[in-house]
Amino acid sequence: MVDVGPKAATAREAVARAAVRMRPATLRLIAAGRAPKGDVIAAARLAGILAAKRTAELIPLCHPLALEAIDLDIALDRRAGCARLESRVRLVAKTGAEMEALVAVAVAALTLYDMCKAVDRAMVIDAIRLVRKTGGKSGTFTRPGERQ
């Protein structure tokens, strides 16, 4: 692990996004709450939040962090044929929360896939990326061309 001992604790935030592309019929099932395994949005949101809290157990050499807030939003975009996922992780620490934000959307997307695979095995998890991070020695990063 990287030695973060000498670093100052600062307020940090990381935002990550992903998309799950699917058939229109699958989107309609999710929106109506009629997926075979139940409430897809609630299950995916909970799975993503829980995964963010366990990132250090999943990613080698990742520091365990005391996260202060994790928001995970999932919006169905019928025009684009996908579910759009966004996580926002906040804390005061000596290291950033980029991995926690990325793990949150990745696991939420995988959960969405798992809950709907019986009706749509052709779903695609797409565009997992860090959108923005603030705090720390390196300051702010904003992905070019990404809406905030």
| Helix extents (H) in 6-145 | 24-32, 40-53, 55-58, 98-116
Q: Cα 108 from chain centroid?
A: 6
- Would you call 114 helix, strand, or coil by DSSP? helix
114 tagged catalytic: yes
Helix axes 24-32, 98-116, angle to 10 degrees: 100
Q: Which of 39, 71, 73, 114 is catalytic?
A: 114
User: Is the distance from CB of 26 to CB of 116 less than 8 angstroms?
Assistant: yes
Among candidate residues 99, 39, 96, 107, the one with its CA nearest the CA of residue 72? 107
**Catalytic residue ranges:** 114
